[in-house]
């Protein structure tokens, strides 16, 4: 398994940003971004993972028509203030998220993740069901 | 949009907030406009109008002791509390209260899965646990149990079942309140009570025998305001060995009556899971002639719809059946259903659909391979929570009215016609009720239909139409004996008014109870249309 991860990381470095923007990011996440990635996985990925059928990804594809990646995790133009605004205020059918859901500290970690260089973010956050299905299959 | 609790001035409000901070700590009380934005109902049809309901503050206790202490503080200051679990009750009010100035008691921090018992198939959870959280707790341990979840997985089993929400697996699990077993409640005086076997010290059956002894008051806490639920048990479905699907079509309009009778039999016998009724003719709704026919005032005749179906070369109706259980049992149940229906309805056809062992693979969850255009939502049908269906939301949100009607084809035709005609007064809304509208078999033993007009934050005229249509729809439905099952705070009085047998005997009974245990309205006054004396005056 380790060799697969390493190979994937090397591949990610080799192919660079262009492929990353197509949702092909791979490899490990920088340790100081792990908390932000976990916040993204829990609260954002269910709508914003790189799957065109998800509400958030679908809406951003429609809004930007490919000018920026539809999957939030692949964006390189996000600013912390903008992320914080949408998290706390919502937009269209996305509701605001309360501090009991995403604390201010978690929001800061999320911002760190979403504004980090792409090659430090590693592979996209998994949807919960994908993570659990893999866990089950590993356990069998 | 600063508001104060009823009968409290700014100084009194400040003193109240100080008392709350003393209970939960300064980080867990909010009252600024900025913080309170997230406690507005972002799906509100009365957004930014005088009718919108605003909370004055929010408080987030960490445990049942703090909930109890918060209730006692609120009682001392006579401030109404409005409990939320995960606050995701969208379409039905979100986290917003019935009474302006109420203080939201946000239970999201109470997020422990207290127990999942595989051998006895139950879970015990706190209100802040989401369906995602419970699913994770089951899957991480590799337990052979299946959840029954609503479309959006961010909701709470406690909150959803207390709203009488529904799911999509086997009949007795789809009714989420019906599938609960045992609860812990903080009463309006701050006392902690447990229902069922939870009332007996040392009992080991809290999540297995719901009644205990004597009257069971647990129903009072669903859509009610008699206490704040802090723990709740749920029955879980043992993970079925196998999943199987099929499609059955029937050619003529009137065949729907027999089709429904057969599906009722299959459902009530425990042979099938949730079903998806539909009409293949919906594929022709872009044709103006078909649209004119199915939205015709006074409804369509059998002959008219049969002719349209024949011209299109399509059957009038279809139903997708889903089977869960041992592989051989699902096969026998599918062939039994096929033979029973095809043997009774001339021209009926059946197609075998996808089938596979559970748990499903990632590919099976993500890419259904049905040999027909399927309306089945794979994840929810298999109890896998997601937000995949959130894309059905249009504009900035919607409001929901799901009138309850009998599981009877004739009743379906009547609702199509009556509510279709009534909603012609709102021509800018989609024709939710038309001659092809099919019912939902979500609750265990009843049909519902969908009325869900959208809302737009920047279009008050559109919202006013949705709001007026909603009220009219509730009214006309009630004239025909079709009641709403769940409503946003702004509609709860109107809906409760329609349950008026014997001069509102039920409401008067609820009011007597409320006056006895919570005359000042500390817990959610107005919820469920129940107002204590203080607010009736």
Task: Place A10 in a pLDDT band, splitting at 50, 70 and 90.
Answer: very low
Tokens of B106: 């946000």
Last residue of a domain, one of B483, B509, B526: B483
Place of tokens 């997230």: B38
Same domain, B88 and B117: no
Last residue of a domain, one of B238, B256, B290: B238
Checking if the pLDDT of B84 tops 70, the result is yes
A32 touches chain B (CB under 8 A): no
d(CA B317, CA B430): 21
pLDDT in tens, B502-512: 999 999 999 99
Query: Is residue B358 one of the residues assigned to a domain?
Result: yes
Same domain, B369 and B245: yes
Helices B64-77 and B10-24, interaxial angle, to 10°?
Answer: 160
pLDDT of amino acid B149:
97
Task: Place B326 in a pLDDT band, splitting at 50, 70 and 90.
Answer: very high
Contacts of B66 in chain A (CB under 8 A): none
pLDDT of amino acid A20:
39
Mean predicted confidence (pLDDT) in B258-266: 98
Checking if the pLDDT of B398 tops 80, the result is yes
Mean predicted confidence (pLDDT) in B345-371: 96
Which residues of B are known catalytic residues? 92, 485-486
Contact B329, B244 (CB under 8 A): no
| Closest among B338, B365, B336 to B349, alpha carbons compared | B338
Query: Is residue B5 one of the residues assigned to a domain?
Result: no
A101 touches chain B (CB under 8 A): yes
d(CA B455, CA A86): 19
B-interface mutation test, from A132, A134, A138, most B Cβ less than 10 A away: A132
| Closest among B5, B10, B9, B100 to B46, alpha carbons compared | B100
d(CA B537, CA B533): 6
Contact B96, B58 (CB under 8 A): no
Same domain, B357 and B282: yes
- In angstroms, the Cα distances linking A57 to A62, B378, B426 are 9, 20, 32
pLDDT of amino acid B2:
86
Contact B124, B110 (CB under 8 A): no
| Closest among B347, B482, B503 to B408, alpha carbons compared | B482
Residue ranges of domains in chain A = 29-139
Query: Is residue B494 one of the residues assigned to a domain?
Result: no
Give the residue, B422 or A1, on which the prediction is more confident: B422
d(CA B399, CA B473): 12
Tokens of B510: 């609820």
Same domain, B245 and B382: yes
Exposed e or buried b per residue across B401-425, where buried means at least 16 C-beta atoms within 10 angstroms of its C-beta = bbbebbbbbebbbbbbbbbbbbbee
Under an 8 A CB cutoff, do B35 and A99 touch?
Answer: yes
Q: How many domains are contained in chain B?
A: 4
pLDDT in tens, B488-504: 999 999 999 999 999 99
pLDDT in tens, B436-474: 999 999 999 999 999 999 999 999 999 999 999 999 999
Contacts of A95 in chain B (CB under 8 A): 38, 42-43, 88, 90, 94
Same domain, B142 and B199: yes
Contact B106, B113 (CB under 8 A): no
Contact B181, B207 (CB under 8 A): yes
pLDDT of amino acid B1:
60
| Closest among B73, B50, B81, B7 to B537, alpha carbons compared | B7
Same domain, B259 and B381: yes
Domain A29-139 falls under CATH 1.10.760.10:
yes
Same domain, B89 and B51: yes
A99 touches chain B (CB under 8 A): yes
Mean predicted confidence (pLDDT) in B15-42: 97
B529 lies in which domain range? 501-536
d(CA B208, CA B180): 9
Mean predicted confidence (pLDDT) in B410-437: 98
A3 touches chain B (CB under 8 A): no
Place of tokens 């990381």: A9
pLDDT of amino acid A24:
74
Lowest mean pLDDT among A60-74, B31-45, B255-269, B388-402: B388-402
Task: Place B387 in a pLDDT band, splitting at 50, 70 and 90.
Answer: very high
Mean predicted confidence (pLDDT) in B394-408: 94
Contacts of A92 in chain B (CB under 8 A): 395-396
| Closest among A138, A112, A125 to A28, alpha carbons compared | A125
Tokens of B231: 């723990």
d(CA B137, CA B121): 14
Same domain, B232 and B244: no
Q: Which neighbouring-strand residues pair with B249?
A: B318, B349
Looking up residue B531, the CATH number of its domain turns out to be 1.10.45.10
Under an 8 A CB cutoff, do B139 and A136 touch?
Answer: yes
Q: Which letter does DSSP use for residue B166 in this model?
A: B
Lowest mean pLDDT among A1-5, B271-275, B336-340, B384-388: A1-5
Same domain, B365 and B478: yes
pLDDT of amino acid A140:
59
pLDDT in tens, B114-142: 999 999 999 999 999 999 999 999 999 99
Mean predicted confidence (pLDDT) in B87-94: 95
Q: Which neighbouring-strand residues pair with B185?
A: B193, B229
> Cis ω on the peptide bond leading into residue B451 (within 30° of 0)?
no
For the sheet containing B276-278, what is the strand order? B276-278, B317-325, B242-250, B349-357
Can you spell out the DSSP letters for B91-159?
Answer: TTTTT--SSTT-EEEEGGG---EEEEETTTTEEEE-TT--HHHHHHHHHHTT-SEE----SBTTS-HHH
Last residue of a domain, one of B181, B205, B238: B238
Interface of B with A in 68-87 (CB under 8 A): 86-87
Tokens of B529: 């249309």
Mean predicted confidence (pLDDT) in B343-350: 98
- In angstroms, the Cα distances linking A72 to A17, A41, A67, A87 are 15, 12, 13, 13
pLDDT of amino acid A26:
85
Checking if the pLDDT of A111 tops 60, the result is yes
CA angle A130, A134, A137 (to 5 degrees): 140
Q: Dihedral angle at the C-alpha atoms of B206, B209, B215, B221, nearest 10 degrees? A: 60
Checking if the pLDDT of B155 tops 50, the result is yes
Region of A55 on the Ramachandran plot (φ > 0 left; ψ -120 to 50 alpha; else beta): alpha
Same domain, B227 and B249: no
Checking if the pLDDT of A13 tops 70, the result is no
| Closest among B8, B6, B74, B10 to B534, alpha carbons compared | B6
Which stretches of B163-211 are assigned E, i.e. beta strand?
Answer: 180-186, 192-194
- In angstroms, the Cα distances linking A25 to A15, A28, A131, B173, B468 are 10, 10, 17, 40, 49
Same domain, B423 and B408: yes
User: Residues, chain A, total?
Assistant: 140
Task: Place A8 in a pLDDT band, splitting at 50, 70 and 90.
Answer: very low
Task: Place A138 in a pLDDT band, splitting at 50, 70 and 90.
Answer: confident
Q: Which residues contact B489 (CB under 8 A, 6 or more apart)?
A: B53, B93, B96, B97, B98, B526, B527
Interface of B with A in 344-403 (CB under 8 A): 359-362, 365, 379, 384-388, 390-391, 393-397
* Alpha carbon of A70: minimum distance to chain B alpha carbons (Å): 15
pLDDT of amino acid A1:
36
Count CA within 13 A, CB hemisphere, residue A15.
15
Checking if the pLDDT of A9 tops 50, the result is no
Contact B361, B312 (CB under 8 A): no
Give the residue, A22 or A72, on which the prediction is more confident: A72
Can you spell out the DSSP letters for B296-361?
Answer: -TT---HHHHHHHHHHHT--SEEEEEEEEESHHHHHHHHHHHHHHHHTTSTT-EEEEEEEEESSPP
Mean predicted confidence (pLDDT) in A34-58: 94
Looking up residue B75, the CATH number of its domain turns out to be 3.30.43.10
A-interface mutation test, from B391, B394, B454, most A Cβ less than 10 A away: B391
Helices B460-479 and B409-422, interaxial angle, to 10°?
Answer: 140
Give percent of chain B with pLDDT exceeding 70.
Answer: 99
**What's the whole-number average pLDDT of chain B?**
97
B449 touches chain A (CB under 8 A): no
Query: Is residue B495 one of the residues assigned to a domain?
Result: no
pLDDT of amino acid B119:
98
Same domain, B77 and B171: no
For the sheet containing B103-106, what is the strand order? B29-30, B57-59, B103-106, B81-84
Checking if the pLDDT of A23 tops 60, the result is no
d(CA B486, CA B448): 12
Task: Place A14 in a pLDDT band, splitting at 50, 70 and 90.
Answer: very low
Looking up residue B165, the CATH number of its domain turns out to be 3.30.465.10
pLDDT in tens, B220-248: 999 999 999 999 999 999 999 999 999 99
pLDDT of amino acid A12:
36
d(CA B524, CA B502): 26
Q: How far apart are the first and last CA of chain A?
A: 16
Tokens of B124: 């015990």
d(CA A55, CA B388): 7
Checking if the pLDDT of A2 tops 60, the result is no
A100 touches chain B (CB under 8 A): yes
Q: Dihedral angle at the C-alpha atoms of B391, B397, B401, B407, nearest 10 degrees? A: 0
Give percent of chain A with pLDDT exceeding 70.
Answer: 82
pLDDT of amino acid A137:
84
Query: Is residue B493 one of the residues assigned to a domain?
Result: no
């Amino acid at each position: 398994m380790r060799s697969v991860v390493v190979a994937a990381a090397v591949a990610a470095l080799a192919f660079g940003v262009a492929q990353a923007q197509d949702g092909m990011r791979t490899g490990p996440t920088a340790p100081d971004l792990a908390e932000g990635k976990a916040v993204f996985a829990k609260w954002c990925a269910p709508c914003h993972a790189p799957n065109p059928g998800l509400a958030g990804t679908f809406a951003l594809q429609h809004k930007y028509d490919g000018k920026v990646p539809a999957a939030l995790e692949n964006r390189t133009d996000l600013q912390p203030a903008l992320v914080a605004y949408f998290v706390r205020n919502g937009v269209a059918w996305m509701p605001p998220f309360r501090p009991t859901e995403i604390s201010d500290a978690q929001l800061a970690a999320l911002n760190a993740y979403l504004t980090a260089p792409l090659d430090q973010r590693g592979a996209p956050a998994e949807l919960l069901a994908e993570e659990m299905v893999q866990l089950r299959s590993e356990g069998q | 949009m600063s508001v104060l609790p009823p009968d409290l001035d700014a100084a009194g409000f400040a003193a109240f907030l100080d008392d709350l901070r003393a209970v939960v700590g300064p980080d867990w009380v909010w009252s600024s406009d900025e913080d309170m934005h997230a406690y507005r109902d972002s799906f509100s049809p009365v957004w930014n109008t005088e009718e919108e309901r605003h909370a004055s503050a929010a408080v987030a206790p960490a445990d049942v002791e703090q909930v109890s202490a918060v209730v006692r503080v609120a009682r001392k200051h006579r401030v109404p509390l409005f409990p939320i679990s995960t606050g995701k009750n969208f379409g039905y009010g979100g986290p917003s209260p019935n009474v302006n100035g109420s203080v939201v008691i946000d239970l999201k921090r109470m997020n422990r899965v207290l127990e999942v018992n595989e051998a006895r198939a139950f879970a015990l959870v706190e209100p802040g646990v989401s369906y995602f959280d419970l699913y994770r707790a089951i899957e991480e341990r590799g337990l052979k149990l299946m959840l029954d979840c609503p479309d959006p997985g961010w909701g709470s089993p406690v909150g959803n079942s207390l709203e009488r929400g529904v799911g999509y697996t086997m009949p007795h699990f789809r009714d989420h309140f019906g599938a609960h077993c045992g609860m812990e409640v903080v009463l309006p005086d701050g006392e902690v009570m447990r229902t069922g076997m939870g009332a007996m010290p040392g009992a080991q059956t809290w999540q297995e025998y719901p009644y205990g002894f004597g009257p069971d008051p647990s129903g009072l806490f669903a859509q009610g305001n008699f206490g704040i639920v802090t723990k709740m048990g749920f029955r879980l479905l043992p993970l079925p060995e196998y999943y199987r699907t099929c499609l059955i079509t029937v050619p003529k309009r009137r065949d729907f009556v027999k089709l429904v009778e057969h599906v009722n039999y299959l459902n009530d016998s425990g042979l099938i899971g949730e079903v998806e009724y539909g009409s293949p003719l919906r594929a022709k709704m872009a044709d103006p002639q078909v649209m004119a026919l199915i939205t015709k005032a006074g409804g369509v005749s059998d002959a008219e719809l049969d002719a349209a179906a024949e011209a299109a070369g399509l059957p009038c109706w279809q139903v997708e059946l889903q089977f869960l259980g041992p592989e051989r049992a699902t096969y026998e149940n599918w062939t039994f259903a096929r033979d029973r229906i095809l043997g009774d309805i001339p021209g009926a056809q059946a197609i075998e659909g996808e089938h596979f062992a559970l748990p499903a693979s990632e590919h099976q969850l993500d890419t259904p391979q049905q040999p027909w255009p399927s309306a089945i939502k794979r994840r929810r049908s298999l109890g896998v929570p997601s937000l995949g269906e959130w894309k059905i939301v249009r504009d900035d949100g919607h409001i929901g009215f799901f009138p309850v009607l009998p599981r009877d084809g004739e009743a379906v035709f009547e609702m199509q016609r009556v509510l279709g005609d009534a909603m012609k007064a709102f021509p800018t809304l989609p024709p939710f009720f038309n001659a092809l509208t099919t019912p939902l078999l979500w609750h265990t033993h009843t049909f519902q239909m969908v009325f869900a007009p959208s809302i737009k934050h920047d279009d008050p005229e559109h919202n006013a139409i949705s709001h007026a249509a909603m009220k009219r729809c509730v009214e006309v439905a009630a004239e025909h004996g079709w009641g709403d099952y769940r409503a946003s705070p702004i509609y709860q009085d109107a809906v409760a008014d329609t349950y008026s047998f014997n001069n509102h005997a039920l409401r008067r009974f609820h009011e007597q109870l409320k006056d006895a245990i919570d005359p000042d309205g500390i817990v959610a006054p107005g919820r469920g249309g129940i107002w204590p004396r203080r607010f009736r005056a």
